[in-house]
Amino acid sequence: MPTAYNPRDVEEKWYRYWEENKFFHSEVDPSRVPYTIVMPPPNVTGQLHMGHALDNTLQDVLIRWRRMQGYNVLWLPGTDHAGIATQAKVEEQLAREGLSKYDLGREKFLERVWAWKEEYGGRITRQLRRLGASCDWDRERFTMDEGCSAAVREFFLRLYEKGLIYRDYYIVNWCPRCQTVISDIEVEHLEKPGQLYYIKYPAREGGDYLVVATTRPETMLGDVAVAVHPADDRYRHMVGKVLVLPLVGREIPVIADEYVDPSFGTGAVKITPAHDPHDFEVARRHGLPQIKVMNEHAVMDGEAGPYRGLDRWECRKAVLRDLKEQGYLLKVEDYTHAVGHCYRCETVIEPMISRQWFVRMKPLAEPAIAAVKEGRIRFVPERFTKIYLHWMENIRDWCISRQLWWGHRIPVWYCQDCGETMAERETPEKCARCASPRLEQDPDVLDTWFSSGLWPFSTLGWPQKTRDLEYYYPTTVLVTGRDIIFFWVARMITSGLFAMEEVPFKEVFIHGLVLDALGRKMSKSLGNGVDPIEVIESHGADSLRFMLVTGNTPGSDLRFHFERLDGARNFANKIWNASRFVLMNLDGYRPEEAPGPEAYTLADRWILSRYARCVRAVTESLEAYELGEAARAIYDFLWDEFCDWYIELAKPRLYHPREPRDRQLAQHVLARVLKGALELLHPFMPFITEEIWQRLPHRGRTIMLAPWPVYQPELVDEGAEAAMELLMEVTRAIRHIRSEMNVPPGKTATAVLVAEEEGARELLAGWRHYVEGLARCRVELRAACDAPPPQSAHGVARGVKIYVPLAGLIDINREASRLEKELAAVEKELARVKGKLASEAFLTKAAPDVVEKERAKEKDLSARAASLRQRLAVLRG
RNA sequence: GGGCGCGUAGCUCAGUGGGAGAGCGCUUGACUCACAUUCAAGAGGCCGUAGGUUCAAUCCCUACCGCGCCCA
């Protein structure tokens, strides 16, 4: 084995071994309990980014852990067709050839998209394999494969038949660049600096006028009214009067509506129903017309009069110029406000009236609210429940049609002769009403999230009643980022409850975003993304996974620091070398002849006790979704306890055993604890643990399927832990003296240990060789401190006084100041404890064990202080 | 405007109603036969501010300040 761990040598090999042997595969087995996760499907043409790496690492940890626990684990992978994103990529590709999708036509264009999908579709799944994802590739799905498409159609039809889908003219969010409508949640509101323009609208008769304030003056061309608040005394006399719209000359009424905020601007608001969602609602209430002044390219047309042909920003300038010239523009203020942007391309969206398909959400939301309120679905962390409920309780209808070509075509046909609208499961031949064969399918496709909303059951065979569906549904847990709770989690819940009458998953484990080192979101435009594949190549998949899991608290964001990656790699290397040590010293070890517990040394009992606690801590943390805590527990155990103490204590037993049996015993405990720790670590670092586990004595074909270590309370040995703690503290005290007094590491010192207490003295007598080995010294044990050695440095550890004679080496002043410093710290602490114990309230009200603890503390601190003081007195002569 | 999260060592972040933790960085010493991707020792913190609850608050409650996110 090389002295440094090289992930490249092992990762690919083991992944192939696992996959070829179908260790990831799951089959229905009613005799076993299923544990199911459906993978949030990454975009088919995308590539792995850090968000995917985090999301899938977390899933893989849970999956591997539960698999080892014996559950029948299914992790179902797949990809999403990602309508807008994919279509945009192919359009870019065409643009480089000087073509547009219209040059090709719908059919040819779709061929190109499918070809693209074939070419790039496998990229991300190959990358997931490199990450170590142990998902069942035999069940890989795609949101536009045959089964999912059938599910989409069936689902649409069921909603349609229940009257939950309708088509209507409504104000929608239009992206002038993507040339499609997007849903409300796809609009990103960004704070942008802008201006607030105050415009004068004169009354038709007399010199009266109103002043409106607006951030979008160009839309005034489509104004149909000015609204004021009904209770606003300033304007009460104006309500019902008629104003003349500047530049246009249109006569518009002054109306009263509660929607108006009297404190904003002038308290008078222009109403542009065709280009503002709020105005749209106001106009509906008042029966006002809608006047379109802009087309789908955000260029003025319709009733825009002389401004026709200008794009919206040019038009704004022109309108302002004209208003100013004609004396209507009274004031301009700087004003920062939230502007809706397309979440895909960041173009400013344009509210527009358009005929689209919608899902009536209220009836679907009710059971989705109940499911969470009744605890049938639980969010982890819990605080996301509130976010979810708030959104569900204020839900609006979902616009599901998209003016794209790539996606699930809306299964609705229109008769060209009689105008009949037909929603059908199978492509119809003729009109159901007039029998005309002249049918045309709706040109639009469905929102991508419509199909991903069905993911937990469409992938298991729905609408067929399959055994898979019966066995694996509802799935156990969904793991996903907090950014898509509304987009996806909420939709799966409503869809699952509607189609299956059962929740799609019992728990939702939400994680944060991976940010760059400066705390910014990783994005293409900033160029601050870190490629997980590059990281895997430089540091290994295990290191990446470990780094993503540790120091991460559920639901909160995570900054990506290369330093932390180095730390994870160092940990892998540490495990590698600890394992090398164990493996190099296993010759002659016969597991079946291992000595029984009666032969265990103190160190053996101690490490087994610590190991047992570690098993419990890791398991409990995983159960609570505290993955970072679990990882930290193994890290601390392996590095601090197993490597730094146990291995050091095992060395003499292996190199110079007093008896062969002790060597056997050390080998046994080393192998057992290391193997168990590797099993605990396997969900986090699958590759290195498999590589080492295979070399250790083991049963079974893979660590993946090794039984998860079970907490054994009989291994917990508090006596051994306390004893080791004392020996470790004495060791640390001697090391401290050696270091402070500049005793060369090669030089063996003498340590005079004075243990007045019998228990401690016996302990030190029995295990003095631990201290001697670990602190490189010769121990002289005494029962009383009658004559401390002259010219020695002093320390105290748990009632044990330590003197390290340093004839000729000791610097009295230096030693005195060291002891003074220590004494000051001890006295400070002692004062605090004494103060506490002096309080009657504390003694009567605090828990008895707490009081007891404080008393013990006082005793220990007093003894330490006394010893230090005495020593100082001697030094000062 | 409403909601949520965060503010702990120089940096990044864990954590807990009862003696402040880790990693990195820093200082000092060591190529000690698993590992210098290491080992040993050390320095470094009114746990954002002000109140309150409690015998006891970094932790619970309230207000405020600062930062970030979501929704309208």
Cα–Cα distance for residue pair A290/A284, rounded to 1 Å: 9
Nearest nucleotide (CA of A775 to C1'): B40
In Å, what is the separation between the CA of A381 and the C1' of B2? 21
Using the predicted structure, report yes or no on whether residue A705 has a pLDDT greater than 90: yes
Give one DSSP letter per residue of A762-776, joined into a string: HHHHHHHHHHHHHHT
Residue listed under structure tokens 């069936």: A154
Give one DSSP letter per residue of A468-525, joined into a string: HHHHHPSEEEEEEEGGGIIIIIHHHHHHHHHHHSS-SEEEEEEE-PEE-TTSPBP-TT
In Å, what is the separation between the CA of A131 and the C1' of B66? 39
Higher pLDDT, A523 or A114: A114
What pLDDT, on the 0 to 100 scale, is given for residue A810?
Answer: 67
Nearest nucleotide (CA of A843 to C1'): B55
Using the predicted structure, report yes or no on whether residue A259 has a pLDDT greater than 70: yes
Residue closest to sugar C1' of B34 by CA:
A581
Higher pLDDT, A196 or A695: A695
Q: Return the domain boundaries, chain A.
A: 180-351, 562-716, 741-810, 812-877
Distances, alpha carbon A564 to alpha carbons A237, A568, A574, A793, in Å: 68, 6, 15, 39
Condensed to tens digits (0 to 9), the pLDDT of residues A361-409 reads 999 999 999 999 999 999 988 889 988 998 898 888 888 988 889 999 9
In Å, what is the separation between the CA of A87 and the C1' of B2? 37
In Å, what is the separation between the CA of A557 and the C1' of B67? 14
ipTM: 0.93
Q: Which bases of strand B sit closer than 7 A to a protein CB? A: 3-6, 12-15, 18-19, 22-25, 28-30, 32-42, 54-56, 68, 70-72
What pLDDT, on the 0 to 100 scale, is given for residue A704?
Answer: 96
Using the predicted structure, report yes or no on whether residue A458 has a pLDDT greater than 80: yes
pLDDT, mean of residues A58-78: 96
Nearest to A281 by CA among A255, A315, A300, A316: A255
Token pair of A499, please?
A: 């189609």
In Å, what is the separation between the CA of A640 and the C1' of B55? 37
Using the predicted structure, report yes or no on whether residue A14 has a pLDDT greater than 80: yes
Instruction: Please state, for a pLDDT cut of 70, what percent of chain A lies above it.
Output: 99
Residue listed under structure tokens 């010239």: A325
In Å, what is the separation between the CA of A210 and the C1' of B14? 60
Using the predicted structure, report yes or no on whether residue A746 has a pLDDT greater than 80: no
A180-351 and A812-877 in the same fold = no
In Å, what is the separation between the CA of A523 and the C1' of B7? 26
A515 forms beta bridges with A521, A559
Q: What is the CATH number of domain A180-351?
A: 3.90.740.10
- Asked if A233 and A211 touch (Cβ cutoff 8 Å), the reply is no
Distances, alpha carbon A52 to alpha carbons A47, A330, A454, A485, A548, in Å: 9, 52, 20, 16, 11
- Asked if A216 and A319 touch (Cβ cutoff 8 Å), the reply is no
Nearest nucleotide (CA of A572 to C1'): B37
Using the predicted structure, report yes or no on whether residue A515 has a pLDDT greater than 90: no
Domain A812-877 = CATH 1.10.287.380: yes
User: Which among A570-584, A787-801, A803-817 has the top mean pLDDT?
Assistant: A570-584
Nearest nucleotide (CA of A513 to C1'): B69
CATH number of this structure's domain A562-716, picked from the four choices 1.10.3470.10, 3.30.559.10, 1.10.730.10, 3.40.50.1820: 1.10.730.10
Quickly count helices (H) and strands (E) in chain A. 27, 29
